[in-house]
Amino acid sequence: MTASSPEKTFAEVRQALLAGQEIALVDVREEDPFAQAHPLFAANLPFGRLELDAWRRIPRLNTAVVVYDAGEGLAARACQQLQAMGYTDVSLLAGGLGGWREAGGELFIDVNVPSKSFGELVESQRHTPSLSAQEVKALLDSQADVVVLDARRFDEYQTMSIPGGVSVPGAELVLRARAQAPDPATRIIVNCAGRTRSIIGTQSLVNAGIPNPVSALRNGTIGWKLAGQVLDTGANRRALDITEAQRLEAARQARTVADRAGVKRAVKADLAKFSAEVARTTFQLDVRTPEEFATAHLPGFSNAPGGQLVQETDVSVPVRGARVVLADQDGVRANMSASWLAQMGWDVWVLDGATPEDFNETGPSIHALPEPQGPLSWLSPAQLSHYLQTEPAFDTAVLDLGTSVNYVKCHIPGAWFVLRSESHQALKNIPTAKRYVLTCDNSQLARFASAEVKQLTGAEVFVLQGGTQAWLDAALPIEQGETRLASPRTDRYRRPYEGTDSPHTAMQAYLDWEFGLVAQLARDGTHGFRVI
């Protein structure tokens, strides 16, 4: 601890959560150790990415931020970095993760735990209808009047899906279900990879009063695989277009659900008032698809597709107690997403009255970044290629600071995978070089690592112009696989429900864990969830 980084105790953090005060409880470890144990409302902001993520995810600089690790020494460094970025109320969690445990705090495993535990609470209280994998397969084999709607992101759906299933990401379900199943007698089955999104998706349709019989696929694609049944890969079925009459009816249903949940209403004038509040955080989120958002969106809004927003509140809104304003152009997705956030204890508003002309920004969200320390030296892909081809092998060391997933997919030949948070140890695993060239997907993160690599090595340090993407654009050679790992691949927690090769024991253990979440919520006691 430093003099400029006071401590907050477990009791103080718990009291803030119970009182609904704004607080960001930040775990600065990499995602894999975070997933092994953390408090319910902890948000994972790895130390090595703070400059890229902090201003975007914790936008108000006087937010109460409490930082912890598990004794790795990252938390104190993170406090100093956050203070350098302008945050004025930064504290260390007394005793770190161990202190939380010793004080009697409940610890959760996995990721997106607030949403997953809430989903289990919903099912336990509403008895959300579900069918087993064997029952669903029997219906499909008999060519019964059934449609299967996959509530995950489209890329997850493409990786593996129920045969014949259609991609309808969670917030789209109430909007598009009638187009997929216009006959009220058609049974709708909602699936995800595990449990949460199928429970929330099914209950969304039930809450909205869809006339069709609706069931969740119990345990999702995990349940399908554990039953010994075959999944599709590479499917490309998307939801049908809807009519204006279908949109209007879905909007009426969604507004009714939002009103029941206590969702608040905002108009454009409120946005300026919210933005002017210096003691309150407001997240402005457009819950439509990324494609719609890129085409046109409201100024000041970020994209958080509704299904994933409800699934990943710890990612999209990591300041517990903050205000959340949601927007769409159809009156359905924002209201349905908001209905769930309200039940999860968020102060959530839906923006009413926005006109098509108000959606006048295009492209992805652009967030401000701090300036890197010290001057940067840039190197073009062509010059790096020249060094690698004409000089001795160890003269130039290429450090890839991007995600391990992207590194394995493709990287510059000879590049080393390095976690920035562990750069000191990683450099010990790399032969000493005359010069170091830093890269990542677009070199944004590499810029921030330049000064510390220079300090650690005393050598010339360059940042690759345009990053690895510029190397690819220049049609230069690439490598694939785990060829040179100077750091362990702890930046990504391998979910037991993703991909098609997880061991059955891991999938069953994951389901068993989900079944126990309601009891964990009761022991924790800070959640503030209610189910309508």
Would you give per-residue pLDDT tens digits along the chain (532 residues)? 345 689 999 999 999 999 999 999 999 999 999 999 999 999 999 999 999 999 999 999 999 999 999 999 999 999 999 999 999 999 999 999 999 999 999 999 999 999 999 999 999 999 999 999 999 999 999 999 999 999 999 999 999 999 999 999 999 999 999 999 999 999 999 999 999 999 999 999 999 999 999 999 999 999 999 999 999 999 999 999 999 999 999 999 999 999 999 999 999 999 999 999 999 999 999 999 999 999 999 999 999 999 999 999 999 999 999 999 999 999 999 999 999 999 999 999 999 999 999 999 998 888 899 999 889 999 999 999 999 999 998 999 999 999 999 999 999 999 999 999 999 999 999 999 999 999 999 999 999 999 999 999 999 999 999 999 999 999 999 999 999 999 999 999 988 777 666 788 888 888 888 899 999 999 999 999 999 9
pLDDT of residue 413: 97
User: Which structure tokens are listed for 501?
Assistant: 């090769």
The SS3 of residue 156 is helix
Q: Residue 79 in contact with residue 2, Cβ under 8 Å?
A: yes
The pTM for the full model equals 0.95
The SS3 of residue 193 is coil
User: Among candidates 48, 42, 28, which has minimal Cα distance to 402?
Assistant: 48
Q: Identical fold at 117-240 and 261-358? A: yes
User: Which structure tokens are listed for 153?
Assistant: 């992101």
As a whole number of angstroms, the distance between CA 59 and CA 302 comes to 12
Fold of 7-110: Oxidized Rhodanese; domain 1 (3.40.250)
Tell me the CATH class for 378-473: alpha beta
Distances from the Cα of 348 to the Cα of 78, 183, 345, 478, angstroms: 30, 34, 9, 46
pLDDT of residue 4: 63
Sheet architecture: strand order including 323-327: 264-266, 347-351, 323-327, 282-286, 302-303
User: Which structure tokens are listed for 67?
Assistant: 């930082």
Q: What is the residue extent of each domain of the chain? A: 7-110, 117-240, 261-358, 378-473
As a whole number of angstroms, the distance between CA 19 and CA 14 comes to 9
Fold of 261-358: Oxidized Rhodanese; domain 1 (3.40.250)
As a whole number of angstroms, the distance between CA 75 and CA 92 comes to 7
CA atoms within 13 A on the CB side of 163: 13
Q: Residue 121 in contact with residue 200, Cβ under 8 Å?
A: no
pLDDT of residue 2: 44
User: Among candidates 292, 277, 268, 430, which has minimal Cα distance to 349?
Assistant: 268
**7 φ/ψ angles, rounded to the nearest 5 degrees:** -110, 150
DSSP assignment of 9-26 equals -HHHHHHHHHTT--BEEE
In CATH, the number for domain 117-240 is: 3.40.250.10
As a whole number of angstroms, the distance between CA 532 and CA 519 comes to 20
The SS3 of residue 150 is strand
As a whole number of angstroms, the distance between CA 310 and CA 308 comes to 5
